[in-house]
Amino acid sequence: MTRKIGIIGVGHVGGAIAHSAVVQGVADDYVLIDTDVDHVEAEALDLTEAQPNLKYHANITVNDWSALDDADVVISSVGKIALQKTNPGTNSRFIEVPHNVKQVKSVAEHLRATKFHGVLIVITNPNDIMVTLYQKLTGYPQNKVIGTGTLLDTARMLNGVGQAFHLDARSVSGYNLGEHGNSQFTAWSNVKILDHPIIPIAEREGVDLADIEDTSRNNGHFLFQAKGYTNYAIAGAAIRLTETILSDSHSELPVSNLRPGHDVYLSYPAVVGREGILQQADLDLTDAEEAKLAESYKFVSDKYHDIVAHLDEY
């Protein structure tokens, strides 16, 4: 039984995902789709020519939507982060909305014409809004459309905590919740280091948790200013989510998903497996954290409904 992954949008992020997946042997078959034909064909050739020196073999198909019919996972990495250069210093993923809404509408139309019935992973920004839009436009089951959401921001938080306490980030547990954007927050009441609550330890050792939270929220903007794009960390998040689905591992991850009573996606821990979202977690948050989560949801919901109200204009 082979595993197949489709990647739609093979720019800095999509290319990094494809490379990482091929090197790690995540799948056997790959379908790379991009409107820039020369670029995507070159990416496929580059990956093919790397294989004699790699451990795993990969079959690569280019720009064939029908090849997605039996894909296990399709990843949407379409986007145009370079648009943020039109507003220097602006830390907002919403600058990409006009371009990305058009892309999502087109991709959704192409996907509906296929027999794809796997799990759709959305990286496209603003993430929570675009994953909601994808689900509405494709009509796919809600549990089978997932956004990477704060899986990336959580990794940045875990890394920041690890550095502050001289620990490997994998010795830290906890989550960033809410929007994959400026209204997200770290649920410090649930963060632990070496299985101990972090708040009293941070107070005793004089570690500024607010500074770590700000860094996890803003590092994407820092990287964009320095590199012109971000790719490795988000590719790592996408690969982790993809492997969780392919292996049916039933792992709890902070991904963008649709919770009961909500009409837009938002990041909150959920159990993920072969069928997508299998079960939603229920964290014990403080009243202040519950309020932050509600504020983040309202912000995303308001933005989404404003976009949908003008969808025909995109």
Burial of 224 (0-12, 13-18, 19+ CB in 10 A): middle
pLDDT for the residue 219: 87
**How far is 134 from 111, CA to CA, in rounded Å?**
10
| Alpha carbon 20 to its chain's center | 15
Q: Mean pLDDT for the chain?
A: 95
Q: Are 6 and 28 in contact (CB under 8 A)?
A: no
Q: b vs e for 120-132, b when ≥16 Cβ sit within 10 Å of the residue's Cβ?
A: bbbbbbbbbbbbb
Give me the helices (H) in 139-208, please: 151-164, 198-205
Residue of 212, 131, 227, 122 whose CA lies nearest to 174: 212
Confidence of residue 267 (pLDDT cuts 50, 70, 90): very high
Confidence of residue 305 (pLDDT cuts 50, 70, 90): very high
pLDDT for the residue 228: 83
Query: What backbone torsions phi and psi does residue 69 show, to the nearest 5 degrees?
Result: -50, -45
Lookup: tokens for 51 = 């294989």
Kindly report, residue by residue over 154-204, the tens digit of the pLDDT.
999 999 999 999 999 999 999 999 999 999 999 999 999 999 999 999 999
pLDDT for the residue 290: 98
The contacts found for 169-175 with CB under 8 angstroms, 24 or more apart, are 172/198, 174/198, 175/150, 175/254, 175/269, 175/283
pTM for the whole structure: 0.95
Q: Is 180 a catalytic residue?
A: yes
Q: Are 300 and 128 in contact (CB under 8 A)?
A: yes
88 pLDDT above the threshold of 60: no
pLDDT for the residue 86: 55
Residue of 50, 11, 76 whose CA lies nearest to 230: 11
**How far is 23 from 54, CA to CA, in rounded Å?**
6
pLDDT for the residue 172: 97
Lookup: tokens for 116 = 């794809």
**How far is 179 from 303, CA to CA, in rounded Å?**
11
pLDDT for the residue 80: 80
19, 57, 110, 180: which one is catalytic?
Answer: 180
pLDDT for the residue 93: 77
Least confidently predicted of 7-21, 108-122, 212-226 = 212-226
**How far is 143 from 105, CA to CA, in rounded Å?**
20
